[in-house]
């Protein structure tokens, strides 16, 4: 289930909105399906924070920016960085 991280304009943010965790927690209480947080998840630290409650994240603007600035290789490097950060507590 997609949980909107914040109500408003999409794009990169300097910090994860408090509503992201709050809404994900509420959804996790009422459904057994995975909950994914999107809108306002802009970097690996925010992804880790969101995944403390949610089952995953969606990133748009931060990935597109890296694609435009550095091409596909930059996106691959970034996605690997985010994945490693999310997985780190389980290693």
The structural domain count of the chain equals: 1
d(CA 55, CA 7): 20
Number of residues that this document lists for the chain:
91
d(CA 42, CA 55): 17
pTM above 0.85, yes or no: no
The one-character DSSP state at 71 is H
Residue 71's pLDDT is what?
97
Burial of residue 4 (CB within 10 Å: 0-12, 13-18, 19+) is middle
Q: What CATH number is attached to the domain comprising 36?
A: 3.20.20.70
Residue 13's pLDDT is what?
64
Where in the sequence is the domain holding 34, given as residue range(s)?
A: 2-90
Residue 89's pLDDT is what?
83
Tens digit of each residue's pLDDT, the chain (91 residues) = 988 776 665 666 667 778 888 899 999 999 999 999 987 888 999 999 999 999 999 998 899 999 999 999 999 999 999 999 999 988 8
């Amino acid at each position: 289930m997609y949980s909107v991280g914040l109500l408003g304009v999409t794009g990169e943010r300097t910090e994860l909105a408090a509503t992201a965790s709050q809404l994900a927690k509420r959804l996790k209480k009422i459904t057994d399906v995975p909950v994914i947080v999107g809108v306002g998840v802009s970097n690996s630290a925010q992804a880790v924070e969101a995944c403390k409650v949610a089952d995953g994240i969606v990133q748009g603007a931060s990935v597109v920016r890296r694609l435009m600035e550095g091409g596909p290789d930059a996106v691959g490097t970034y996605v690997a960085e985010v994945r490693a950060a999310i997985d780190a507590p389980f290693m």
